[in-house]
């Protein structure tokens, strides 16, 4: 599985259509999607999956009003349950082949609605539909449980990779006693499946996620790789905040972790915004839910004084990309942010020269 900062052919999104996600803010969220697409199309293609022809037309009209280059947008009509393609879409992998291109394939993990929401059958079929559209091979990963193989449940937001053999995840999500994703699966069996199907060599386990996250602790709200040897991680200094203890524990764990050569990881702290609530419910607002595009890093912001701190620290880590804040006050009502609604499709072309820190050199990547 390539790291997110490696060159993309395209980024995929599912246009908002289910009011159960954003309720009164569904229309506002569409304009947030327009901003995401507008910035991404400066450097790569964007694929938009639409529920039906009417949704496709509405998306096109809104994008046009926001001055999006529609020639850089592909539209695909596929019925889905919801718009969280990070968790429901295929996780793409690549391998070298003879010549100047890599083979791209799709891994199709079972999706069970985060072990919470039963209406998920259309989302579970999305990897099959999208891989068929793209003409790439598809693999359905399994895990050994009590001596038998079962299709493994996994969401893309529960893992993060550095492209050089390391994978970050949380015990709360993959092993927690409240989750029902892969009941009976042992830690080593889950690790074997992740190694076999994503090409990683070591799984790094954090503890818990953040308050308000209905996924049982996805890692993309608490810690992310930004280079092969560097992780950004959330920190909450307020000891009275429910996030303080779990995030402090994650930081302790990260500072003890080593890469495949035995070297410590570089850990950069990002602040948390002040608690964001709507209708009395705490929402999982986090700057860690950013998305790394070919030429930009799109960061959720929350009209908070910590916004500028998070943007400045990420800008220092991505000197060759534009670090752009996108207001996510409406988007977060659906209990997810920018990373949750995007899924990268890596390019098969070996056109990017890696910089010393592992990111593509300036000007490399572009549209596939």
Among the options 50, 66, 340, 351, which is catalytic? 340
Cα–Cα distance between 297 and 360 in angstroms, integer? 13
Yes or no: say if 86 and 343 are a contact pair by the CB < 8 Å rule. Answer: yes
Residue of 246, 159, 176, 174 whose CA lies nearest to 208? 246
What H or E segment, with its residue span, contains residue 46? strand 45-50
Backbone angles phi and psi of 99, in degrees to 5: 105, -155
Residue 340 annotated to the active site: yes
- Cβ-in-10-Å burial (0-12, 13-18, 19+) of 137 comes to exposed
- By annotation, the residues acting in catalysis are 340
């Amino acid at each position: 599985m390539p790291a997110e900062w490696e060159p993309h052919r395209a980024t995929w999104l599912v246009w908002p259509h289910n009011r159960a996600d954003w309720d009164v803010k569904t229309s506002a969220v569409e304009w947030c999607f327009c901003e995401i697409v507008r910035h991404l199309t400066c450097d790569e293609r964007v694929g938009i999956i639409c529920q039906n022809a009417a949704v496709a037309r509405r998306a096109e009209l809104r994008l046009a009003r926001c001055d999006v280059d529609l020639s850089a947008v592909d539209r695909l009509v596929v019925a889905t349950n919801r718009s969280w393609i990070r968790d429901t879409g295929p996780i793409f992998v690549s391998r070298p082949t003879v010549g100047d291109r890599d083979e791209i394939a799709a891994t199709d993990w079972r999706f069970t609605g985060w072990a919470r929401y039963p209406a998920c059958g259309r989302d579970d079929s999305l990897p099959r539909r999208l891989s068929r559209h793209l003409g790439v091979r598809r693999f359905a990963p399994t895990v050994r449980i009590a001596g038998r193989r079962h299709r493994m449940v996994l969401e893309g937001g529960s893992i993060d990779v550095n492209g050089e053999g390391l994978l970050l995840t949380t015990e709360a999500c993959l092993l927690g006693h409240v989750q029902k994703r892969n009941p009976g699966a042992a830690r080593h069996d889950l690790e074997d499946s992740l190694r076999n199907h994503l090409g990683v060599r070591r799984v790094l386990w954090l503890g818990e996620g953040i308050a308000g996250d209905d996924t049982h602790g996805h890692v993309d709200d608490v810690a992310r790789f930004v280079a092969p040897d560097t992780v950004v991680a959330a920190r909450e200094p307020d000891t009275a905040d429910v996030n303080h203890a779990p995030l402090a524990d994650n930081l302790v764990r990260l500072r003890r972790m080593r890469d495949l050569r035995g070297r410590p990881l570089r850990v950069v702290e990002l602040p948390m915004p002040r608690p964001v609530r709507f209708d009395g419910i705490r929402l999982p607002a986090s700057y860690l839910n950013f998305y790394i595009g070919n030429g930009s890093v799109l960061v959720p912001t929350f009209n908070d004084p910590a916004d500028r701190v998070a943007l400045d620290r990420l800008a220092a880590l991505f000197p060759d990309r534009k670090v752009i804040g996108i207001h996510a006050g409406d988007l977060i009502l659906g209990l997810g942010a920018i990373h949750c609604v995007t899924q990268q499709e890596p390019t098969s072309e070996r056109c990017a020269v890696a910089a010393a820190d592992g990111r593509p050199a300036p000007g490399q990547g572009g549209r596939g």
